[in-house]
Amino acid sequence: MAIAITLEKFLQKQGIEYDIMAHPRSYTSMETAQLSHVPGDSLAKSVLLRDGHGYLVAVVPATHRLDLGRVGRLLDRHVELATETEIGALFGDCDFGAIPPCGSAYGVETIVDDALISQREVWFEAGDHEELIHVGGEVFNAMMGAAEHARISQHA
């Protein structure tokens, strides 16, 4: 599978320059970082959450664990992990577990951990388990646009 079509269109529309990095098939973000020889702190991991109002993509470094309680307190709403069925419905052109951080490309609200904002380079899933998108840190921050930034994770 190549880059997800929705993601590719989003990046083109935003005029974002990026590189694609192929890597051996992997299933966890830390495995991806290791196989790709990419710093885990610079690999963005996306987690789909849900609440009574809809969905939210939380983006944290691969080396971190998302703090659901912190996200809920920050947004003043109860959030929980979305189901596989919900993930498939929203990110139909992506492999399960390979959600890109650009929630807005899929019409989903996004929140980004502060730990990613300071990275000089960022890598993230292209929509499958064999390719990463690579952008500069400033480009990543611009790409995330109006996404809220906050400390929503802890180093694992």
Q: CA-CA distances (angstroms) from residue 42 to 121, 144, 145?
A: 6, 15, 18
Question: What are φ and ψ of residue 145, in 5° steps?
Answer: 50, -120
Q: Quick one: the chain helix, strand, coil %, rounded to 5? A: 35, 30, 35
- Closest listed residue to residue 116, CA positions, set 106, 127, 105, 102: 102
We report the CATH number of the domain holding residue 134 as 3.90.960.10
Of the chain, the end-to-end C-alpha distance in Å amounts to 30
- What is the chain's pLDDT, residue by residue, as a tens digit (156 residues)? 579 999 999 999 999 999 999 999 998 999 999 999 999 999 999 999 999 889 999 999 999 999 999 999 999 999 999 999 999 999 999 998 899 999 999 999 999 999 999 999 999 999 999 999 999 999 999 999 889 999 999 998
pTM, to two decimals = 0.95
- Domain extent, residue 110, equals 5-155
Number of independent structural domains in the chain: 1
